[in-house]
Amino acid sequence: MSDKLIIFDTTLRDGEQSPGASMTKEEKLRIAKALEKMRVDVIEAGFPIASPGDFDAVQAIARTVKESTICGLARALDKDIDRAGEALKEAASARIHTFIATSPIHMERKLRMTPDEVVTQAIHAVKRARQYTDNVEFSAEDAGRSEIPFLCRIFEAVIAAGATTINIPDTVGYNLPGHFGELVRRVIEGTPNADRAVFSVHCHNDLGLAVANSLSAVLSGARQVECTINGLGERAGNAALEEVVMAVRTRQDIFPCHVDIDTTQIVPTSRLVSGITGFPVQPNKSIVGANAFAHESGIHQDGVLKHRETYEIMRAEDVGWGANKMVLGKHSGRNAFRTRLAELGTEFESEEALNAAFTRFKELADKKHEIFDADLQALVSETHYETTLGERVKLVALKVCSETGETPHAEVTLWVDGQEVRDAAPGSGPVDAALKAIEAIVDSKTDLLLYSVNSITSGTEAQGEVTVRLQRGGHTVNGLGTDPDIVVASAKAYVNALNKILIPVERAHPQAGDV
Ligand code: KIV
Ligand code: ZN
């Protein structure tokens, strides 16, 4: 058994299945480049049959990213596999990941197929995928609720047909660590040709056990873990990459395998993904939360000062927290700005994009003394969205009056489909008034599902990062806005979400069940 644990990142595929987390091609490319820089072994770039946009994104990533293997998802259907093969044609190293459900409930109720039919279709799919690449992964969807003898049977058959990776997903997050580790061990032992494939796991977090289940599987012989940055993913998400990687790295006394990840890229990549998707990272989140390395209690602080390891099992700088030290300010030039962003993994596609971001940077530097890496990443995410997607709605100006004992009142000027429009509204607070004034103009008929504010860095001078989640007709989007003024950040976030909802993207869901 290999002593290398393959890290398979599915932020761009399963992660994108988080309601509201859909990303543009350019955003996916930026994340893929950051994952490559982190030395992720396999990047699942998307589900090419889902939509032309998904196809283009996988193709663009396959063309650009050369150090990681690029994977495309396909149901066990010819049309899906052919589309994935086409999208991956220019990859330096391509993998097709095909899947079909194997649990009794999924086979009977969703697929309406017999176990024999499922095996036949799986074999056919793997053989077809092998026509495009010799790197083929097969997943038994809902393996966590499948019968072990049937898993062994289908795995033996697909390995014989050419599958090189066998994935055991806990699709509905139902398993417990001891039980799941036992399942993986029995499946590997019961599959006669198991030595010809790498066994993998893909755990969902419905019971908060995705990372624990994945690690238990590693102890039972799995040598690939499928995971996402910040644990993003369908419903409660997937196993968090940063937690899996740091657990294996920190507990080398327990794990019989190692990871090849550049862990210093973890925090910058986490920030990038959070900025792009609009999913904030909770402060107490392991590894990447703002408080993950903050010692509040005096006893702990004293211990750490005397001997760091009294209370720290990892070093903050090893996961990339140190990277936030570099400061730019009002007097920094374009070169310093461009160089720092390149170090953070952002290259500008055109001089125009650089100029737009640099203008924003100067505006921010006028309001805020020191600009940290996190500020730069937030600024780039915002500018990027505007220059690449175009905007139907743009915030031109905002004036808010808020005084003790008086009803807050906001006046907003927007640019809507090329026209400048102004309106005003009262509200229960300045944020409420600003968003109501925007709605007085746009009348979007959306429901506000979430409003949250985070501070990007520390201190009262820090920028506020606002996330707004809107829903209309079953379509959910997240909008993100940053500014030292949280009322302005809120208006920006709201406008950002409106633009996403006004330019919807049609796509199919991989697990919709029409196999
Ligand atoms: O959760 C799941 O089963 C999946 C498969 C497509 C691997 O995402
Ligand atoms: Zn999944």
pLDDT in tens, 455-500: 877 788 888 989 898 999 878 888 889 899 999 999 999 998 999 8
61: burial class by Cβ within 10 Å (0-12, 13-18, 19+)? Answer: buried
352 shares its domain with 416: no
pLDDT for 385: 60
If you measure from the C-alpha of residue 3 to the centroid of ligand 2, how many angstroms do you get, rounded to a whole number?
A: 25
The residues, ordered by sequence, that sit 6+ positions from 330 with a Cβ below 8 Å of its Cβ are 362, 365, 366, 369
Ligand 1 mutation pick, 12, 96, 511, max ligand atoms within 8 A of CB? 511
Please indicate whether residue 435 or residue 280 has the higher confidence score (pLDDT). 435
Would 457 be classed as within a structural domain? yes
405 shares its domain with 372: no
If you measure from the C-alpha of residue 84 to the centroid of ligand 1, how many angstroms do you get, rounded to a whole number?
A: 16
User: CA–CA separation, 168 vs 173, rounded Å?
Assistant: 12
Q: What is the mean pLDDT of residues 348-360?
A: 86
Confidence of residue 27 (pLDDT cuts 50, 70, 90): confident
Would 418 be classed as within a structural domain? yes
- Residue 169 CA: nearest ligand 1 atom is 3
Nearest Cα to 246, choosing from 255, 236, 237? Answer: 255
Would 429 be classed as within a structural domain? yes
Does ligand 1 come within 6 angstroms of the Cβ of 169?
yes
Does ligand 1 come within 6 angstroms of the Cβ of 373?
no
| 399, β-bridge pairs | 411
Say if residue 374's pLDDT is above 80: no
Does ligand 1 come within 6 angstroms of the Cβ of 82?
no
315 shares its domain with 344: no
Q: For 386-433, what is each residue's pLDDT tens digit?
A: 655 567 899 999 999 999 999 999 999 999 998 999 999 999 999 999
379 shares its domain with 401: no
152 shares its domain with 235: yes
270 shares its domain with 305: no
Q: How many domains does the chain have?
A: 4
316 shares its domain with 272: no
289: burial class by Cβ within 10 Å (0-12, 13-18, 19+)? Answer: middle
Whose Cα sits closest to atom 8 in ligand 1? 14
pLDDT for 376: 85
If you measure from the C-alpha of residue 103 to the centroid of ligand 2, how many angstroms do you get, rounded to a whole number?
A: 15
Would 327 be classed as within a structural domain? no
Q: For 42-67, what is each residue's pLDDT tens digit?
A: 999 999 999 999 999 999 999 999 99
Q: For 218-245, what is each residue's pLDDT tens digit?
A: 999 999 999 999 999 999 999 999 999 9
Q: For 291-340, what is each residue's pLDDT tens digit?
A: 898 776 778 777 878 888 888 899 999 999 865 555 788 888 888 888 88
pLDDT for 387: 53
* Residue 171, domain extent: 3-277
